[in-house]
């Protein structure tokens, strides 16, 4: 499946839905920071995302320290954003709410 890079309008549309996410300065990528009650909760979340990501063949760029997870999403294969980033962000928002 040929992955399509989102254009500026599609990026803007995506960010209106993904209200907790913002564009990374100077890069076609989106970011969000999540804070959990403790490391155990943060790592459990990361485990769920990791399993989804591997199944979707689309992986986050992330940093974790204790109960904080900083996530950046971009599609390396198109040097920008694709629908895979939107879908992964939606999954992340969904399980973070649970």
By beta-carbon proximity to ligand HBI, the closer residue of 38 and 77 is: 77
CA 68 from chain centre, in angstroms, equals: 14
Among 7, 77, 90, 95, binds ligand HBI (CB under 6 A): 77
Among 75, 80, 81, 89, binds ligand HBI (CB under 6 A): 75
- Do residues 24 and 72 lie in contact, with contact meaning Cβ atoms separated by under 8 Å? yes
Count of residues that bind ligand HBI according to CB under 6 A: 7
- Do residues 57 and 87 lie in contact, with contact meaning Cβ atoms separated by under 8 Å? no
Q: In what order do the strands lie in the sheet with 30-35?
A: 22-23, 30-35, 68-73, 61-65
Instruction: Tell the smallest beta-carbon distance from residue 71 to ligand HBI (Å).
Output: 11
By beta-carbon proximity to ligand HBI, the closer residue of 34 and 74 is: 74
Binding mask 19-58 for ligand HBI (x = CB under 6 A): --------------------------------------xx
- Give residues in contact with ligand HBI (CB under 6 A): 57-59, 74-77
């Amino acid at each position: 499946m040929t992955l399509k890079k989102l254009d500026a309008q599609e990026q803007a549309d995506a960010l209106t839905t993904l209200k907790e996410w913002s564009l990374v300065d100077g890069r076609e990528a989106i970011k969000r920071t999540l804070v959990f009650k403790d490391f155990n909760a943060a790592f459990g979340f990361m485990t769920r995302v990791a399993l989804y990501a591997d199944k979707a063949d689309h992986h986050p760029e992330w940093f974790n320290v204790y109960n904080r997870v900083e996530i950046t999403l971009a599609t390396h294969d198109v040097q920008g954003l694709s629908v895979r980033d939107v879908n992964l962000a939606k999954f992340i928002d969904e399980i973070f709410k649970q």
